[in-house]
Amino acid sequence: MKNSIKVQRAIHDMTQADLAQAIGVSRQTINAMEKNKYVPSTVLSLKIAKLFKKPLEEIFFLEETD
Amino acid sequence: MKNSIKVQRAIHDMTQADLAQAIGVSRQTINAMEKNKYVPSTVLSLKIAKLFKKPLEEIFFLEETD
DNA sequence: TCTAAATGTAAAGTTTGTTTTACTTTTGTG
DNA sequence: CACAAAAGTAAAACAAACTTTACATTTAGA
């Protein structure tokens, strides 16, 4: 799975730390997500989509390998 | 987080086992999700939304406590 | 009612998400 | 350049997702 969190952060002018605090996770969790180190839980992705006011599917994308 | 997987299964006339096989998890995983035993990964929820041809937010909902 | 299919549940084990701490590297701005 | 903020990274520890096996309960149909 891939995501466009970094782009959304740029649009909203937020740092990784800002986003982390806004949704209640550690900064490393945001960083790892952006670097595709792991797949976040659905609660996390829903919170991020909600914060950025976008459908979840516009931020998180399935890949062939998923 | 809550979800309407059971309703979607009914609409598509699928058993828990059918759905499990369709998205590549165990039947117990589907059962546990329906009973809100745990929060699925974003890959799982995306696959389910895709299978049922619905926006993810129409199947998985954040709650106050999330 | 009898039976089979479907669902619910539970425990043990493995894998993966997430946190914490801490340090390095990059980037932007004076 | 110099400094600070932001981003990248890494390892250990813990929490949660997911599997497997196995069995009990419910539901639907002959």
Average pLDDT score, chain B? 96
Contact present, B14 and B57 (Cβ < 8 Å): no
Within a domain: A66: no
Number of domains in chain B: 1
- pLDDT band at residue A22 using 50, 70 and 90 as cut-offs: very high
Give the total residue count for chain A: 66
Which residues lie across from B45 on neighbouring strands?
none
Query: Which chain B residues touch A if contact means CB-CB below 8 Å?
Result: 1, 39-47, 49-50, 55-57, 60, 62, 66
Within a domain: B64: no
Within a domain: B63: no
The DSSP code for B41 is B
Domain that residue A23 falls in:
2-57
Within a domain: A63: no
Within a domain: A32: yes
Q: Give the global pTM.
A: 0.93
- A39 Cβ partners below 8 Å, 6+ apart? A1, B41, B42, B43
Domain of residue A35, CATH code: 1.10.260.40
Within a domain: B21: yes
CA distance A43 to chain B (A): 7
